Structure 1
Amino acid sequence: MTSRVEPRARHRRRTDRKRALVGGASAVALTGAAIFTSTTMSTASAATTWPTATGSEAVSSTIAVSGTRDGGYKRYYGSGDLAGDGQEEGQDPIFQLADGATLKNVIIGAPGADGVHCQGSCTLQNVWWEDVGEDAATFKGGNSAVYTVYGGGAKKAADKVFQHNGGGKLVVSKFAVQDFKTLYRSCGNCSTQYKRTSIFNTVEVTAPGSRLVGINTNYGDTAALRNITVVGDSGKKIVPCQKYIGNNTGAEPTTNGSGPDGTYCDYTASDITYQ
């Protein structure tokens, strides 16, 4: 299933798992100067260099983050109760971010459990998932929340990379994704639903993959795609924007077409480059 009932209730899960604003997307919700390193791509067309861990730490219980936590490129991986690396429902995250928190310069290894949970607005800066567990990051804030993902990347996502269960806006910039099913999904059947906004600007996508974004048109979701580079998908099988009819009953959402429409899926052919 493509979604998760909030906040801890179980749900069935399957493996389906306007142009304004975008020019400044990379700066949204970041405080202070953005930091580039050799592990952050400068453009989507440049091959991403993944960081080498400076050390490793096993995590047996969720690490709570408030304020800013700089991991110094240490690898964190689940152990004990956090040793899950599959799609089992109800896994806890490696990191749980309080409203307004920042997590940066972190590598999440395997097992990855449920990655990162943002309880409200958050910034994930240069966070790298080497082998996505249940999801890489789940966003749970309210309508006013802004979630910023700046730099970083994710590999080996059997289902979703970013799961948007709450409300608000997600801005993803200078990010790399490889070997995945869905980069982003607006929750298709959460018990509380929202109108969700997402912006993806300068993203390097490497096949195999199934879809970039999945949104619910009946709730007014929007997804903007800019400067997307897709590598290894000459047949253009990866769907840039899949539309769904979401619900709040836990039922499997139905599809509602795909492709740019100027309202929900905001992009043109020139926004996506194939290599």
Structure 2
Amino acid sequence: MRTQHKKRSIGRVSAVALTVGVLGITTLAPTASAATWPTPNGSQAVPKTIPVSGVTDGGLKKYYGSGELAGDGQEEGQDPIFELADGATLKNVIIGAPGADGIHCKGSCTLQNVWWEDVGEDAATFRGGNSAVYTVTGGGAKKAADKVFQHNGGGKLNVSNFAVQDFKTLYRSCGNCSTQYKRTSAFTNIEVTYPGSRLVGINTNYGDSTTLRNITIIGDSGRKIVPCQKYIGNNTGAEPTTNGSGPDSTHCKYTSSDIIYK
């Protein structure tokens, strides 16, 4: 895949809701400290991509790559641990290291309470068409040397109640895929722990837009994490150029009150 390059206050005493546990119980993780990753309920090596259709509940078991899926770097073209069919739901899963290319969604999909302990190439890649809707609720990702969420197809991604730590980019609308789309994304109740480079990267020339709400950033006293980076994308495989950053009413939809620093 192309590589380019997650009024209600969350102020002094509030918290970010994180879904944990196999029963889907929602607990509150204080925004003053990083979210607590769940303890795996057993583990399973995965030598070949696991196809998912319908609803699959992993019971908070840890899945990690082995054999041909033992990659954990940024090599292009790695296969995923899980591949979701259109309309599939994957929940209560921990992806350990090696993480290969995480999860691929071939169409609309739901990821519920999915945790990545050490992101490989990407945590999840979304490949559906213009009408696809991808939903990520609960869970978290850390140790992402490049991207957490890679949006190569069309449609809309909704991410809520998610934690991210030690990452480069939380979300990237593909900057140089051979087929390009107008892509939409929304991020609500996201706990971000520094270090990190940018939350979202979108292509203004294709009409991308993102909405940021209730984003808590921990440990970034220098405010180095860019909430919304704009690019000029292409379909030739060339390196995209940047096109500014910061809020506006068209592409980067947020205000300063939506970003809380702790």
TM over 0.5: yes
| Contact in 2 for aligned 1:93/1:116 (Cα 8 Å) | yes
Q: Which residue of 1 aligns with 2:218?
A: 231
Q: Unpaired segments of 5 or more residues in structure 1? A: 6-12, 20-33
**Of 7, 18, 24, the match for 1:35:** 24
Distance 1:131 1:103 in 2: 18
Matched, 1:180 2:170: no
Q: Deviations over 1:143-192 (max 9, x none)?
A: 00000000000000000000000000000000000000000000000010
| Contact in 2 for aligned 1:43/1:202 (Cα 8 Å) | no
Q: Aligned partner of 1:129: which letter?
A: W
| Contact in 1 for aligned 2:29/2:36 (Cα 8 Å) | no
Q: Which residue of 2 aligns with 1:83?
A: 70
**Of 57, 77, 80, the match for 2:44:** 57
| Contact in 1 for aligned 2:34/2:218 (Cα 8 Å) | no
Cα distance, 1:44 vs structure 2: 5.3
Check 1:46–1:235 CA distance in 2 against 1; reply closer, same or farther (3 A cut): closer
Cα distance, 1:45 vs structure 2: 5.8
* TM-score for both structures, normalised by structure 1: 0.87
For the residue of structure 2 that corresponds to 1:81, the secondary structure is helix
* TM-score for both structures, normalised by structure 2: 0.91
Matched, 1:242 2:199: no
Matched, 1:116 2:115: no
Distance 1:267 1:247 in 2: 25
Cα distance, 1:37 vs structure 2: 4.0
Q: Aligned partner of 1:114: which letter?
A: D
Distance 1:36 1:164 in 2: 29
For the residue of structure 2 that corresponds to 1:249, the secondary structure is coil
Report sequence identity in percent.
79
Instruction: Please show how residues 210-225 of structure 1 align to structure 2 within 5 Å.
Output: 210-225=197-212
Distance 2:248 2:66 in 1: 45
Matched, 1:264 2:251: yes
RMSD: 1.6
Q: Aligned partner of 2:80: which letter?
A: P
Q: Which residue of 1 aligns with 2:139?
A: 152
**Of 55, 61, 71, the match for 1:68:** 55
Instruction: Please show how residues 82-101 of structure 1 align to structure 2 within 5 Å.
Output: 82-101=69-88
Q: Aligned partner of 2:226: which letter?
A: V
Q: Unpaired segments of 5 or more residues in structure 2? A: 8-22
Check 1:142–1:43 CA distance in 2 against 1; reply closer, same or farther (3 A cut): farther
Q: Which residue of 2 aligns with 1:191?
A: 178
Cα distance, 1:60 vs structure 2: 0.1
Distance 1:198 1:43 in 2: 25
Q: Aligned partner of 1:271: which letter?
A: D
Question: Which has more strand, going by share of residues?
Answer: 2
Q: Aligned partner of 1:167: which letter?
A: G
Aligned residues: 246
